[in-house]
Structure 1
């Protein structure tokens, strides 16, 4: 049997400490409180006379240093009474150092004013800690503090940085109507009870990195003028988060939501990269560009653009003035790596959304007014050739490939591409990191099915067009013969989706048929049948024959209105796959046969295109 390791001896504090009650065997350190200047004991272990003399020497605004000192409620009241400002009736302190102090009983700092930095690192509050309406003019540090009871910081003003890293809140923690003028950090803090940040104002960056909320987390009407960082935060009970407003970035990357939750956030950007949703969630956003890349969705999650300002109660809307100048609408920047079978997007702008790498895109639910990127506008020159792109909704991955394929220059930082160009990707012009046509065709195919399953045939039409376009340009996965068929299909009718193109070709084919018939298909005159007979005794044998239609007129006599009318009848009958019954030359017969094959096909393609646009 092995011998258990010897316990690690406690570290001696870095200050000259009291050592009251030290025992070389049981407790070699004893009291860790810093000695009062001019004495060999801390404030808690001074004699009554020496303590009274020390307290009498204090005046409002004095710096105090009682690190490691054990405070009873009575001792703390004596200290704060000695520092009380007679004009305000509240304690007034300069620089405060209370690191590793222990407070037994209620720690009452209500309305206290801290003119300098305040250090409460690793402090232990065994009961309620009350800092309501306190004012911290310098930095406030509570790193590693333990609040065994409730912690009240309502209406506190932090003019400098406020750090609560690795703090343990065993009871309720309230920061309602708090004003953070500097940075506020709650990294790795643990909230076992309800955490309330209602109507708090955050002027700098606020960090909750890897904090744990085991109770409800309320941020109703909170305002963040800087960034709000919730990276790695664990929400175990929270059923609602917000509504709150953030002028910067709300970062929920790596956060864990274990229970059903509703988030209501008005912000310029919301990051949900690798966020884990273990239950259903509704994310209501305003103004924000949301990044859902590689989020883990174990249950349905709905991301919705909220049309009006949030209201904490009927008629009481949240102030969004810090977001003035932000673009309207909610955008999603990426769902890469997401299982889209659990995702619902409502009234979302997907102009720059990256879909590549997502799973089950065919099961993605797109509701309301969904916006996608459009093709470039106007005429574009490619060498000596002018082109004009068909107006349709596209995926941004197609933009990235076409910009790379067209050799567009790298845009300068912060440059917004013009509507006349394709939108370059983040890795432009690297072909190895830009999706190729085969990849983009697969994205179009899956999203087309999502539209079709939602009974939105017109919405699916553009994605079918995009799929065919990418297959036509795919030189690796699509055989050459299939690419040529797609090219012909595109040329004649825009893949059966452009009625104007099909009817233009139909009109051109009919016009050509009329001209060819007038030129070489119609005879000069309709041939007259001739009847001949042979007399054999009392019997007569009659034989009627019609000469072949012949064309003898000059070209000037062939182009007449009468011949045009006859040719038009032949062409119109060919469109509906009927024979006109008109006498034709041999060439005219073949022209009619060709028109009866081609023109009904073009008519069918035009009708199919119209149906694809109006079908529901």
Structure 2
């Protein structure tokens, strides 16, 4: 690396009188001389260094250092009691180091500045101690910067520093703020085991290798806004005690947070993540948000196990991904899935409103906890919480598969292609209130079936029906006109999946909404009401059989009282003889209406005949029994009504057992 002056302008300190190749040295003169430490001559330098004591302050701004000159300087400041080099406040601003700069085992007892310094080799501070602030603002380093095992009683500032090699800052403590804004590292950057007491800032940092933060301890806020890490990022075992933000960061490869502790959660809004994001065995006390993040080649996200919010709203997944989570709430609002995705959830209330699904996406509940390092990951607060889908509003359900999730509170209205939704496993919906309830003063008993949450909201809001669930705050209440198409599309979705028994409840709901819709023509509403009362829209076999039984009893009773004649009429034959010719005529008298009291007509003989007449007329369409005029009309009515009721009962049974 060629050492060049950080600035062509004159420095703001007295300048060395030495010139070479038309360039004046920028080093600060050593008093009382006119030249800097590098140019005062060997004898004068030896005398100057001999006069220094350990802990002396240094002002060596702009001074060019060779390796030998730096060695001489540090040797003059060696504490004989400890064998370590001890410096007071030291200013190396815009100093030039032609080779490796070795500051190992140096104690800096005051502020030290390398702002604008240029290192032709590396800068090595292994085992150094900084009792005050360390400044590296705008410095350039041709090779590595190592600060292994340092203790820093002040802060560090690497604003706009450029390191062409690697940066190592390991197993130490930084007591005050640590600022790495605009830092550029050509290789790996290691911050393993470092304890940051006050806020740490890595905003707009660029690391072109792997970033190691494993075991790091951030006791205050940490910001990675706009940071760019070209290699993998490792945060295994790190601890974030306050806000951990990665706003608009670019993490080009895998990111690992295994065993990481987030006391107040983590935020990745607008981040770009190129690889997998691994979590496991974490302790997370707040929310984790990936709002507007872009996942380019992420195949695994999780397992995330914590009781708060996981927010993937407005995020984009560009490759096939598996998301594993057991969380309190999962937001996928307006999330874009540009490839297949599998959401394997242990606990969560999922909101998929307005999501864009371009390829198949499955949301499935898991019955067993996730496992990391042989240990089951579970959240005690969520041990009994199922996977619940809260909303599909505005989402395109054409590629959506739901398996073993709770839909009791799910909002379906405004879902696109709902008829192509696939439901597998056990996906319960809300049920009507059990037992005897009231609408106003009228007691009712609701039919057991699967209902939409939106129907609950409407009945509770508009009808004032007892026991139905009211809509949460700021939730639209939809009427029958909007709910009927939703039931219709869900019915078709199950029918297309060959689950006709499961689709029966959705057909019932569709017919209910049509019957209760005030915009439905009165004639149609009356017909639907009759259909509902007779057989529950062809789905309640017991209701149809009950009406059939009642109709049979009524018909038998009518036959006994009015339909059967007093006596079976006997045919009478008369004849005439004309010569050898005999002519016979047989007449059968009309049936005579029964006589006597009604009690006398209710005999076992008349009951047996009436029952035979009803069964023959309904099943075999002809009774063969002479009836009175009233009986004839009763039989005609029974031939119409009772087979229809029998057919409705058969239809209801078929709808529940057909496969």
**Matched-pair contact (CA < 8 Å) for 2:88–2:110:** no
1:375 aligns with 2:432: yes
- Please list, as runs of the form range in 1=range in 2, the aligned pairs for 1:476-487 lying within 5 A after superposition: 476=519, 478-487=520-529
- Count residues with an aligned counterpart: 570
- Larger Cα-atom Rg: 2
* 1:214 corresponds to which of 274, 279, 292: 274
Aligned positions of 1:183-582 closer than 5 A: 183-312=243-372, 316-321=374-379, 323-407=380-464, 421-426=467-472, 433-476=476-519, 478-537=520-579, 539-550=581-592, 551-582=594-625
Q: How big is the shift at 1:119?
A: 2.7
Distance 1:44 1:533 in 2: 155
Indicate how the Cα distance of structure 1 residues 574 and 177 shifts in structure 2: closer, same or farther if over 3 A, else same. farther
| Rounded Cα–Cα distance in structure 2 between residues aligned with 1:80 and 1:73 | 22
Cα gap change, 1:400/1:72 in structure 2, threshold over 3 Å: closer, same or farther?
Answer: farther
**Aligned partners of 1:474, 1:141: CA distance in 2, in Å?**
61
In 1, the alpha carbon distance for the partners of 2:63 and 2:607 equals: 117
Question: Which whole-Å CA distance do the structure 1 matches of 2:154 and 2:585 have between them?
Answer: 131
Aligned-pair distance for 1:283?
Answer: 1.1
2:188 counterpart residue number = 128
Change (3 A) 1:466 1:129: same
Q: Aligned equivalents of 2:527 and 2:10: distance in 1?
A: 93
Shifted more, 236-245 versus 268-277: the winner is 236-245
How far apart are the structure 2 equivalents of 1:404 and 1:44? 81
In 2: Cα distance, 1:147 partner to 1:255 partner: 24
1:110 and 2:190 aligned: no
Once the two structures are overlaid, the 10-residue window that deviates more, 65-74 or 217-226, is: 65-74
Structure 1 residues 327 and 282, CA gap change in structure 2 (3 angstroms): same
Return the alpha-carbon distance in structure 2 between the equivalents of residues 189 and 576 of structure 1. 78
Aligned to 2:87: 56
Aligned to 1:413: none
Q: In 1, distance between residues paired with 2:317 and 2:343?
A: 12
Question: Is structure 2 residue 656 aligned with structure 1 residue 613?
Answer: yes
* Per-residue Cα deviation, 1:251-310 (whole angstroms, up to 9, x for no partner): 011111111111111111111111111111111111111111111111111111122112
Matched position secondary structure for 1:303: strand
Assess if the C-alpha contact under 8 Å between 2:314 and 2:333 holds in 1: yes
* Deviation of the 1:326 alpha carbon: 4.8
Q: 1:595 — aligned with what?
A: 638
When residues 384 and 358 of structure 1 are mapped into structure 2, their CA distance, relative to the original with a 3 A threshold, is closer
Superimposed CA distance per residue, residues 1-48 of structure 1 (whole angstroms, 9 cap, x where no aligned partner) = xxxxxxxxxxxxxxxxxx974324999xxxxxxxxx977666997995
Root-mean-square deviation (Å)? 3.1
From 150, 153, 157, give the equivalent of 1:94: 153
Matched residue of 2:368: which SS? coil
How much has 1:68 moved relative to structure 2?
4.6
2:129 to 79, 82, 86: 82
Q: Is the 8 A contact 1:296 1:339 kept in 2?
A: yes
Q: 1:33 aligns to what?
A: none
Indicate if the aligned counterparts of 1:142 and 1:163 stay in contact, CA closer than 8 A. yes
Q: Which of these residues, 232, 235, 241, is aligned with residue 172 of structure 1?
A: 232
Query: CA–CA distance in 1 between the matches of 2:159 and 2:62?
Result: 14
Q: Could you tell me how far 1:131 is from its partner in structure 2?
A: 1.0
Contact 1:67–1:100 at 8 Å: present in 2 too?
no
Give the whole-Å Cα distance in 1 for the aligned partners of 2:641 and 2:179.
87
Q: 1:496-527, CA deviations, whole angstroms, 9 ceiling, x for partnerless residues?
A: 00000000000110111111111111112111
Helix, strand or coil at the partner of 2:149: coil
Contact 1:73 1:103 in 2 (8 A): no
Q: 1:564 to 1:178 in 2, by over 3 A?
A: same
Inter-CA distance 398–614: structure 2 relative to 1 (3 Å threshold)? same
Name which of 182, 187, 190 aligns with 2:242. 182
1:277–1:563 CA distance, 2 compared to 1 (3 A)? same
Task: State the Cα distance separating 1:577 from its structure 2 match.
Answer: 4.3
Is the 1:65–1:97 Cα contact (8 Å) retained in structure 2?
Answer: no
Q: Which stretch has the larger CA shift, 143-152 or 463-472?
A: 143-152
Identify the range of structure 1 (135-144 vs 348-357) with the bigger mean alpha-carbon deviation. Answer: 135-144
Kept after mapping to 2: 8 A contact 1:63/1:93: no
Distance in 2 (CA, whole Å) between partners of 1:276 and 1:292 is: 10
| 1:67/1:324 CA distance change after superposition, 3 Å | farther
- How many Å separate the matches in 1 of 2:219 and 2:588? 110
Q: What is the DSSP-based 3-state SS (H/G/I as helix, E as strand, rest coil) of the residue aligned with 2:324?
A: strand
Q: Which moved more, 1:302-311 or 1:66-75?
A: 66-75
Q: What TM-score does the superposition give when structure 2 sets the normalisation length?
A: 0.80
Native 8 Å contact 1:120 1:141 kept in 2: yes
Query: Gapped runs of 5+ residues in structure 1?
Result: 1-18, 28-36, 409-419
Distance 2:245 2:62 in 1: 31
Residues 1:175 and 1:376: Cα distance change in structure 2 (over 3 Å): same
Paired residue for 1:6?
A: none
Following superposition, the deviation at residue 330 of structure 1 comes to: 0.8
1:348 counterpart SS class: coil
C-alpha deviation, 1:72, in angstroms: 5.2
CA contact (8 A) 2:438 2:444 kept: yes
| Runs (5+) with no aligned partner, structure 2 | 13-55, 78-84, 90-105, 132-147
The 1:246/1:69 distance shift into structure 2, 3 A limit, reads farther
